[in-house]
Copies of this chain bind each other. A is one copy, B any other.
Amino acid sequence: MLKVAIAGGTGYTGAELIRLLIRHPKVEITSVTSEQSAGESLVSRLPFLKGLCDLTLEKFDPDQLAKKADLIFSALSHTKAIASTRQWIDAGKKVIDLSADYRLQGDGVYEKWYGTAHTEPDLLKKAVYGLPEIYRHKIATAGTGPCLIANPGCYPTSALLPLYPFLKSREVNTTREIIIDAKSGVSGAGRAATDKTHFSEVNEGLVAYNIGIHRHIPEIEQEVSLFGGTVIFTPYLLPVNRGILTTIYLPLKRALSQAQLETILEEQYKGEPFIRRVNAPPNLAHIKGSNYCDIAVFATIKGNTAILMSAIDNLVKGASGQAIQNMNILMGWDEQEGLRSPGFFP
């Protein structure tokens, strides 16, 4: 049994990690930390786990975590675990970081978007971007020793998975922006109460936010720019608990038929365990609680713009499920271990 620890276990991504890891047959959770509730039972903060997990929440202590675990999921908010991650790597551990701290590789990009210089630039360079459908080989290779996986953000996952086959196909017209219109459930904003996530403010509403300034823009562009592309990204706060539905208006170099578009998708993703190609528009109702990314593509009349749609659960494929998928790859296990179960419907 692999010993794993979770730094920051009572937020939504931490809770989802525990929910999924409890069923994982090759893993034992040895430690869960909480900034606010150290010393209390985990169940006091996550009552849905009563009867399934009797851990006591611990103060965040990087040394202790390194002693107790061989793999650490870091689910703290950004900047909080930059230094600790260095410690863990030096101690020979594997680290999967669910924050944005080790995702942005460009010089000064982290500082520009997070307002503070990155204090571990060398380690940053070594981090592997943990999008298995694109970087599976790099992840697996990293897993042979101590390593750091930068687990992708929820919006970038929802955007890059449908985009990647088309970017790779070189059919995208990169002189025009790729338009990404992405609607996210409220758990994506975290568990801390804010004015913007107060029930009566969100319920029966819909609103875009952070137009042009959302911190997931540089993460998306880091990948898209490898193919010469640029993006316009519009995120929305949607009155549901879970899920991101992303629609992409993709400029093409030439008109492509529905069949041609589907072929591009199929060729890239045939056999991928967590990509489901669907013919109807994907629905958030069908991916809640699962690690699937449902993807559809639609041709338009003129044909020079394709419409891509993806649906993921922001807490699973957009965070904790993908982190476990990365762990499975790192460890050389079946990639679907612990993730094979369906979501819930309705």
Contact = CB atoms under 8 A, between A and B. Distances in A.
Number of copies of this chain that the complex holds: 4
Interface stretch (A58-66, A96-104, A116-124, A192-200): A192-200
Interface in A158-199: 176-177, 179, 181, 183, 185-187, 191-195, 197-199
A interface secondary structure, majority = loop
A129 interface: no
A257 to B, nearest CB: 13
Interface residues of A, number: 83
Contact of A282 (B51, B207, B345): B207
B238 A200 contact: no
Interface stretch (A135-143, A300-308, A325-333): A300-308
A284 B191 contact: no
Contacts of A201: 191, 285, 346
Interface stretch (A72-80, A84-92, A208-216): A208-216
A209 B282 CA distance: 10
Interface stretch (A106-114, A147-155, A260-268, A287-295): A287-295
A143 B46 CA distance: 37
B206 A243 contact: yes
Interface in A289-346: 289-290, 292, 294, 298, 300-302, 305, 307, 309, 340-346
A81 interface: no
Contacts of A205: 240, 243, 283-286
Contact of A208 (B193, B194, B203, B247): B247
A230 B302 contact: yes
A134 interface: no
Contact of A300 (B208, B232, B276): B232
Nearest to A197: B199
B284 A206 contact: yes
Interface stretch (A1-9, A15-23, A27-35): A15-23
A281 B237 CA distance: 11
Given A199-B199, A242-B346, A284 B207 contact: yes
Nearest to A200: B346
A50 interface: yes
A259 to B, nearest CB: 15
Given A203-B241, A209-B281, A344-B289, A232 B198 contact: no
Given A194-B193, A199-B203, A232 B305 contact: yes
Report, nearest first, the 3 A-B pairs whose CB atoms are least far apart: A205-B285, A207-B283, A200-B346
Interface of A: 12, 15, 19, 22-23, 46-52, 176-177, 179, 181, 183, 185-187, 191-195, 197-209, 211-212, 230, 232, 234, 236, 238-243, 245, 247, 249, 273, 276, 278, 280-290, 292, 294, 298, 300-302, 305, 307, 309, 340-346
